[in-house]
Amino acid sequence: MIDTATKIAAGLERAFVAQGFAEPNVEALRAAADVSLRTLYKYTPSRGEMVLAALEHRHARYIAHVFDDLPSPGPAALESVIIKIGEWMSQEAERGCLFHAAVAASPRDARLHDLLRRHKSDVAKRAAIAADLADRENDIAVIIEGLTQSWPLLQNEAVTSTLSLARLLRR
């Protein structure tokens, strides 16, 4: 059984993925979270808090999906990370990165900018450690960001290109 905060965050995440950040009204968000309006506001007292809760939940799911059960650190682990990101994009983010979409919807929200930075930094750091290339974290960040940003246009071809670029890091 999941706790109420997780249930709410999961429902909000689903609503924002399906409808974007501008469209769903509070009633739609409440229905997606499957709680009363009072409970929704108890855990997320504003729309901004709802967005943050959804993105924090998504971050945790993404990290688990991409970084659980990797091979030993090295080239195979980095390839696995890239393939798992491609799977995530295919299954969870066909229209692109939800974190970037949130910032685009509220460009002046410093908390969203901070969360975006933290998410991308965490992914790059974990990928660099998995690749056994801690000194190439920025290069890996750019390669992975290229994959997530090009996914809506290139889809699986973006994964193939990303794998090719990742192999160049070892040279």
Taking the chain (171 residues) in runs of 10, the rounded mean pLDDT of each run is 90 96 94 96 96 98 98 96 97 93 96 97 97 96 96 96 93 75
Cα distance between residue 26 and residue 80, in whole Å: 39
Q: CA torsion 154→155→158→160, rounded to 10°?
A: -120
This prediction's pTM: 0.94
In the chain, which residue ranges form alpha helices assigned H by DSSP?
Answer: 4-19, 26-33, 37-43, 47-67, 75-92, 98-105, 110-131, 137-154, 156-168
Name the residue with tokens 């998504």: 58
The residue count of the chain comes to: 171
pLDDT of the residue at 2: 75
Query: Residue 140 is encoded by which pair of tokens?
Result: 């890996």
Pair 145, 120: CB distance under 8 Å? yes
What CATH number does domain 4-168 carry, 1.10.1060.10, 3.90.420.10, 1.10.357.10, 1.10.3720.10? 1.10.357.10
Q: What's the token pair of residue 152?
A: 């809506």
- Residue 1's pLDDT is what? 58
Is there a contact between 55 and 125 (Cβ–Cβ < 8 Å)? no
